[in-house]
Amino acid sequence: MTDLDELIREVLTTDAQTQLQPDRLTERSMRLGQRLRHRRRLGLAAAALGSVTALVAGSLVIADHVGGHPSNVATVSTADQPQTPWWTAWPKGRVYSAAPGAEFMTAPPLDTSKIYASGTLPDGTDFVAYLDPSESDPHQPQFLQGWNDIVDFGEAAGEGPQAGPDATYLSLESPTYQTGRDNVGTTQWLVVVGQPGTTSASYSADGSTWQPMAVDDGIAVLQIPGIAPRGARIQLSDASGEYMNGPLALP
């Protein structure tokens, strides 16, 4: 056989020649894109309207934190990197809402997606964890993060045993990678959205040594090197004690 690398290159190059640029590509793309822009403007207007509600909700969260509840998840910091995430107007924390499709302009069709949590990673990167019904059945947790208005798609997590937009769940686990504008790091952020009332979470790469995860509003995050190994486990507890101790359901 010819060298495989060479053969692949040759086949792809040959096949590519058979594809012509679609007729009126520019015109059609602009027309469709114009509609998307319009939808986006409507979405942003709705978000701006909703920001009043978010402001009130945010005040309550702040008041709650002032009241003594620990919070290890940092708020948005503009000190190191200027951030202009396009979901800035969204409330942080648990959301449990259907996402307006216009908010996900560069994502798959998501009109019925459910947002489960949004927040800010300790490094300042904003994130949204959501379930996308178009991805699979059962739904897979997805992860979006933004940096300077650039959306990075995290890895799709494994199919959680109880994941579903309307289902009661133990946890949604979604990994991503610490990314910047021009580079991709090798450090993974593991985000676990525990059930409401989750007070502590721990991660173990080998099932014996445990690391506490920062928990805020039942959303746990931890920075881990590389990819979580197969034997990794998660432990979650609420006021009544441990309610989950099982394998990390990632691919």
Binding site for another protein (CB under 8 A): 1-2, 4-5, 7-22, 25-26, 28-37, 40, 105-109, 134-136, 149-150, 152-155, 177, 183-186, 188, 226-227
Minimum distance from residue 150 beta carbon to another protein (Å): 7
Q: Which residue, 34 or 211, is less far from another protein as judged by CB?
A: 34
Q: Which residue, 39 or 65, is less far from another protein as judged by CB?
A: 39
Q: Given the structure tokens 């009661």, which residue do they identify?
A: 168
Q: Report the first-to-last Cα separation within the chain, whole angstroms.
A: 34
Q: Which residue, 28 or 69, is less far from another protein as judged by CB?
A: 28
Q: Given the structure tokens 């560069």, which residue do they identify?
A: 106
Q: In degrees rounded to 5, what are phi and psi of residue 76?
A: -60, 130
Minimum distance from residue 146 beta carbon to another protein (Å): 12
Minimum distance from residue 180 beta carbon to another protein (Å): 10
Minimum distance from residue 14 beta carbon to another protein (Å): 7
Q: Which residue, 12 or 49, is less far from another protein as judged by CB?
A: 12
Q: For residue 243, give both structure tokens.
A: 């309610």
Q: In degrees rounded to 5, what are phi and psi of residue 70?
A: -70, 145
3-state secondary structure 34-77: HHHHHHHHHHHHHHHHHHHHHHHHHHHHHHHHHCCCCCCCCCCC
Q: Which residue, 25 or 79, is less far from another protein as judged by CB?
A: 25
3-state secondary structure 159-201: CCCCCCCCCCCCEEEEEEEEECCCCEEEEEEEEEEECCCEEEE
The three-class DSSP label of residue 16 is helix
Minimum distance from residue 86 beta carbon to another protein (Å): 9
Minimum distance from residue 144 beta carbon to another protein (Å): 9
Minimum distance from residue 137 beta carbon to another protein (Å): 10
Q: Which residue, 187 or 245, is less far from another protein as judged by CB?
A: 187
Q: Which residue, 32 or 62, is less far from another protein as judged by CB?
A: 32
Calculate the alpha carbon distances from 98 to 3, 43, 64, 121 in Å.
50, 13, 25, 22
- Rounded to whole angstroms, how far apart are CA atoms 24 and 42? 27
Calculate the alpha carbon distances from 117 to 21, 101, 193 in Å.
41, 16, 7
